[in-house]
Amino acid sequence: MFIAPALPLLNTLANASVFADPKAEDSQWGLGNVRIRVDGNVLDATATNSFILGQGRTAGTPGTGTDLSWEASVSAAHLKPVLAALKKATGTATVELPRTGPLLFTVGGASFEVALQEGKLPNTDKLFPEHTDHPAVPGFSRFTPADLARLGKLQDYTNVIPKKRPGQYVPPSTPLTIGMASSPDMPAVGTFGPDFRILIGVRRGIVMPEEQAAAGGADWRLGADRSSK
């Protein structure tokens, strides 16, 4: 049985779930799933929509015997009740993987069974470079609004800043940092705090996109008929 504090475990599971594809079919090698893996005193969770991959980790108390090392694939949708319980928990959360049957999450005295899913992610660890020293790289990267919206769902549940009044802007306590790789065929590497890392298959080019080249200048107003408006 692996035991971990509730909020760090919430960070790992909730943020990994962000990158699962809710529309993926079962045949798409588990794109709608989250791989949960335990190795000694560390649990990590990984999910991807095939363009962005997110992986978080949580330190905890290792199990004994056959529970020292295991992995399982679960549906991101089926994890939602567990995440809701973790958001309300203040103590510790326990995760147990029997030899057969579903994953059993025990949160604050309540138990949640999450069925195991077919299909496993390949070895995603080897996709991360050994060194993330990304120098300044000339060129341009393109992100769709959907890509940015997905990245914007990341939250640090261990550093929640309460709002003083409705509508007040509260700056995020944990920045999302993205480093471009030195080679154009390598993905960007991102981090969200010390225990969450991201791979982004950016669309990059060395020539300024036409839209950016025309983003300034006198022609932006599209003609003299708008110059006085």
Tens-digit pLDDT profile for residues 63-85: 766 668 888 899 999 999 999 99
First CA to last CA distance, the chain: 68
| pLDDT confidence of residue 94 | 83
Query: Using CA of residue 63, residue 44, residue 113, residue 153, what is the dihedral sign?
Result: positive
Residue 25 confidence (pLDDT): 62
* pLDDT > 90? residue 129: no
Is pLDDT at 170 greater than 80 in this prediction?
Answer: no
Cα–Cα distance measured from residue 95 to residue 104, given in angstroms and rounded to the nearest whole number? 6
Distance CA 32, CA 109 (A): 28
Q: Which pLDDT score, from 0 to 100, does residue 52 have?
A: 93
This prediction has a pTM of 0.84
User: What is the rounded CA–CA span in Å between residue 27 and residue 118?
Assistant: 9
| Structure confidence at residue 229 (pLDDT) | 47
Among candidates 35, 50, 54, which has minimal Cα distance to 118?
A: 35
pLDDT band at 2 (very low <50, low <70, confident <90, very high): confident
CA quadruple 188, 150, 22, 105: dihedral, nearest 10: 90
